[in-house]
Amino acid sequence: MNDMFKILVVDDEMLIRQGIIHSVDWEGNGYQIAGEASNGEEAIEQIEKIQPDIIITDIVMPKMNGITLTKYVNEYHPKIEMIVLSSFEEFDYVRQTFQNGVSDYILKPKLNSKELLQTLGKIVSDKQVVSRGTFSISIEQILTKSVQGIQTVNEMKEIKKMLPNNECILVELFWKPSTAVPLSPSKFIKRIKANHQDIKCYSFLPEEDTICFILNADKMSPLDVKKIIHQMNEEEGLENKKLNWIITESFILKDQLRQMYQRNKKIRQYHFYLPEQKVLTINDLPSIRNKEMKFDLNHFIYLFKKDHLEQAFTYLKQHIDQLSNQYDIEVFDFKSRIQNIVFNVIILIGNRGLNNDELEEKKYTYIRDLNEAFDISEVMETFNKFLEEVDEILMPSVTRNTTDISDLLDYMEAHYNEPLTLQQLAQHFHFNSSYLSSYFRKNHQEGFSEYLNHIRIHHAARLLRETRLSIAIISKRVGYSDHSYFTKVFKKLMRMSPSNYRKEYSETERMQ
């Protein structure tokens, strides 16, 4: 028992104290719960009796709060390590306690046995024990605390000793959550030092799925760092990985590290909208192209209910394309808008009396995939899958049969020389235009316009072979009002111009 670290738990809520005391196998992990207190005054009495190594304390308490307690401990018992508990709203108070020697903090919503042991582990295991209750902290941990804005004055002095040169650059690497770490920090540091021998470079882990590097030298260009990263990405095969880099401009270390880190968080959303650009600096950020077009959900619903499905989905896709260029829209907001559209489309399909059971089952899978998308390409991949499934449901499956389609194709063959549109054809045969569009794409591997072009060019080729009509007249006879467009389509499908086709056919006839 004497070799264990003694812990004092301080919180005015008995349930929280008991939860901490009874939620962990303390002795099995090398700790001993030596006492508990409901406020700062009781804690001071306990400190004198049990001489704890670590205090876990709440901030907001009656009689004496956690801030006053940390000041007392820092002044009279500086060897005791302290962990504070706080809510999100109390985080400004947490920063104050770090000026009083607090080692770490835990947000109450995350308070569980795993979080407790991890936090204690950072204090005990990741720091070299000099003597009971006195710990040294690594430069990596100090840098992490600095970007969080909770480093002590002494820790800031330590950073300046480790980073003595004039200028700094902060480099951030982040990747898709739940995937393997794409790069060893030492590999990047080695490359940087190979190009800049006098540089100081340290890595630290400010949050999950993120590695930061602080580069320190007398003179250094972000463009040089960018070039090194591009070269490394290419050589290490990282270009196609789901990872991104951010490089800050050069800055003076004093009071600017946290500011640069916060700016990087804003640049992250540009990476979301620009998945092809793996490395971004502040100078690479594009301007917002145009003002956001407000999506009128009521208009979309109106078009859907009136069976103007093609118009409805064209309007929807135009809106999403336009949103994709609005880099200032928060990623969460962008995803939420797409998720809202998914929910509304499913509701509209159900209101039409169509069978959407399968889509209902997949609904939350689509929502989850949209929420977890790393960049806009993953959002659009998921959304397009959803729209394909919507197309399947909207296709009439009972009232339309093979005979109906056969009559429609026969009609196109008979009226190819007239101005035909998909909407006119759908109206004539009482089909849904969205269904017709999907039908041509799935059964003929081409759209309606391409299918109609094949019919027209087939008849044009026959006229070129069998008559001496001018090409301009043939163009009009097969349904093209624009002679130059007819020539372009003919050349694309027949691999030669109409005049060359007629000439080649005539020469073949003479040889026979």
Residue whose C-alpha is closest to residue 338's, from 375, 371, 290: 371
Q: What is the pLDDT of residues 46-79, one digit of tens each?
A: 888 888 889 998 888 888 888 888 888 887 887 8
Residue whose C-alpha is closest to residue 182's, from 153, 211, 160, 147: 211
Greatest mean pLDDT range, 96-110, 127-141, 250-264? 250-264
Phi and psi torsions of 173, nearest 5° = -115, 125
Q: Which helix (H) or strand (E) holds 269?
A: helix 257-273
Residue 40 burial (CB count, 10 A): 24
pLDDT at 460: 93
The three state secondary structure string of 156-196 is HHHHHHHCCCCEEEEEEEEECCCCCCCCCHHHHHHHHHHHC
Q: What is the pLDDT of residues 419-430, one digit of tens each?
A: 888 888 888 877
Q: CB neighbours of 373 closer than 8 A, spacing ≥ 6?
A: 335, 379, 382
CA distances from 234 to 116, 449, 452 (A): 41, 42, 46
% of the chain exceeding 70 in pLDDT: 87
Q: Do the beta carbons of residue 282 and residue 226 sit within 8 Å?
A: no
pLDDT at 400: 45
- Residue 57 tokens read as 């304390």
Q: Do the beta carbons of residue 242 and residue 183 sit within 8 Å?
A: no
Instruction: For each of the domains in the chain, give its residue range(s) and CATH number, in order of start.
Output: 5-136 (3.40.50.2300), 154-284 (3.30.70.270), 297-394 (no CATH), 402-511 (1.10.10.60)
Distance, CA of 62 to CA of 10 (rounded, Å):
12
DSSP-derived 3-state class of residue 84: strand
CA distances from 385 to 127, 341, 379 (A): 50, 14, 10
DSSP-derived 3-state class of residue 462: helix
Q: How confident is the model at residue 104 (pLDDT cuts 50, 70, 90)?
A: confident
Phi and psi torsions of 236, nearest 5° = -90, 0
> Is the Cα dihedral 242, 371, 320, 435 positive or negative?
positive
- Residue 348 tokens read as 């509209």
Residue whose C-alpha is closest to residue 488's, from 471, 467, 464, 469: 471
> Which whole number is the average pLDDT over 322-330?
82
pLDDT at 488: 92
- Residue 464 tokens read as 């070129």
> Which whole number is the average pLDDT over 88-97?
56
Choose the weakest-confidence range: 179-183, 305-309, 416-420: 305-309
Phi and psi torsions of 174, nearest 5° = -135, 155
% of the chain exceeding 90 in pLDDT: 20
Q: How confident is the model at residue 190 (pLDDT cuts 50, 70, 90)?
A: confident
CA distances from 117 to 15, 25, 111, 114 (A): 19, 10, 10, 5
> Is the Cα dihedral 22, 87, 204, 134 positive or negative?
negative
Q: Do the beta carbons of residue 98 and residue 151 sit within 8 Å?
A: yes
pLDDT at 1: 44
Choose the weakest-confidence range: 123-137, 275-289, 407-421: 123-137
Q: Which helix (H) or strand (E) holds 323?
A: helix 309-323
Distance, CA of 118 to CA of 207 (rounded, Å):
14
Distance, CA of 177 to CA of 104 (rounded, Å):
24
Distance, CA of 495 to CA of 475 (rounded, Å):
17
Q: Do the beta carbons of residue 55 and residue 82 sit within 8 Å?
A: yes
Looking only at the bridges linking them, the beta strands covering 167-175 and 210-217 are antiparallel
Q: How confident is the model at residue 127 (pLDDT cuts 50, 70, 90)?
A: very low
Distance, CA of 232 to CA of 279 (rounded, Å):
12
Residues written for the chain: 512
Q: How confident is the model at residue 512 (pLDDT cuts 50, 70, 90)?
A: low
Q: Which helix (H) or strand (E) holds 70?
A: helix 66-76
> Which whole number is the average pLDDT over 194-221?
86
